[in-house]
Structure 1
């Protein structure tokens, strides 16, 4: 990771700030160059994993990110062990993103840490702010989900496809919708059935 700590301190502060092109553009371009190289390589090329480990703040063991990956920075994202992310993961990671061990992320998921003030004159001056996203251990995030700034998703939670997650989701729950709401807790039925009325084989 080559991004200066001075830049990270601003990005991760939680305060509103103005984009400093002279300082931030150069740092971001270096990260974009790494990302471009990873997306150009075959998925199984060992060089791709080496570059990703340089690109992310943290990347655990046996973690796999399908190409293509899209991100603002990369160096603000922390991936645990045995994380799987399907293709077209988009990380608006000016703020930090934390993804726990064994979490699975479906295709076309977007994790957004950054917002802009409602006040028009501040937006004209490129003002922005970021709040971290925390995704727990063994979470399953379905296809086309968007998670907004400041959200925490608890351990073992399941987020249904196409959901817009605007608020925290508790652990051990199934949540879906736009905005995303908890439907129910994970329960005894889930211990016996893997989908609708299809029973989990006894040998699993």
Structure 2
């Protein structure tokens, strides 16, 4: 079996069609949760997706394509094996290439595909977050997985870790450069800006929008469901997962912060070792925002908080504890005020032709 790198200029229509055939055969063998209409709807989008991959590797046997893997940034975007190649090392070889040479450390896996999850867990990946739908809003939950080694794994574990580790500084610098380009808007259409941020984030659902002025620490631990809207100047400190369900609205100036630092100053201070390397202790707790939540302007959501589906958070609130579903809550600290019911319906919407 030969593993080859396929450059963008080498991805001819004939080769793309070979990849698509492998994809379809692989999906039919492992994705029994997909209907024929789902497969037929996805297949036409494969050529564009394959051409968009920064890196693409192919496994061949006797000249035939039997498996392929694509990646963008540090994320594995796809890995598919023809049924006859499964169990013969093609997938493992492609994943090893992606991890060892491309720096891949994260991926998404269909929850309804336990074979794939088992494979990735065996290869050292763990689940860090879950989305109820796939990136196109279809009812196929995704498991967001990361490589379970090194400081990145420690960062998302909830335990203390060294936030000044060199590999994390590389990640932060890469994200800063991308988000500066996103916010500058120079020479980018709105579609290109959303595509840029979609490649930066852990996931970015269909029709989701992130407005200018956004800031983020890593990006790859932010998971956005379909139909979400983020107004101007939102900040995400995503050492742990920050997960948004579908159709979440976030007002301007909101902050989602997962880091915690030691309370004692001597433990909190930046330190240098004998070789001059810096060390800074931190731990992170995940934030989860359910479907159909509205978070008004200038709200801060603290580490470890879950906001239940359909909740509304009033402007200026500081959310330090979980908020129940379908609840109006506000204040500093934010407290549940009352349940949201049908009595809250905007009765004049039908008159305006909006209901």
**TM-score, structure 2 normalization:** 0.54
| SS of the residue 1:51 aligns to | helix
Number of equivalences: 199
Of 43-52 and 169-178, more deviation after overlay is shown by 43-52
In terms of fraction of residues, the more helix-rich structure is 2
SS of structure 2 residue aligned to 1:150: coil
> Counterparts in 2 of 1:18-97, with a 5 A limit?
18-41=162-185, 44-97=189-242
When residues 107 and 192 of structure 1 are mapped into structure 2, their CA distance, relative to the original with a 3 A threshold, is closer
- 1:188 corresponds, among 326, 330, 342, to 342
Which of 1 and 2 has greater Rg?
A: 2
**Gaps (5+ residues) in structure 2?**
1-72, 75-103, 106-146, 271-279
- Provide the residue aligned with 1:154 in structure 2: 308
Retained in 1: the 8 A contact 2:330–2:337?
Answer: yes
Matched with 2:132 is: none
**Contact 2:255–2:299, Cα closer than 8 Å, also in 1:** yes
Tell me, yes or no, if the aligned pair for 2:309 and 2:325 is still in contact at 8 Å.
Answer: yes
Structure 1 residues 188 and 53 mapped into 2: Cα distance closer, same or farther (>3 Å)? closer
Q: CA RMSD in A?
A: 1.7
Equivalent position to 1:141, from 295, 299, 322: 295
Distance in 2, matches of 1:28 and 1:80, equals 23
User: For 2:328 and 2:189, how far apart are their aligned partners in 1?
Assistant: 33
- Residue pair 2:257, 2:301 contacting (<8 A) in 1 also: yes
Higher relative contact order (CA 8 A, sep 6+): 1
1:132 pairs with 255, 268, 286, which one?
A: 286
Structure 1 residues not aligned, in runs of 5+: 194-198
TM-score (norm 1): 0.91
1:166 is the counterpart of 2:314: no
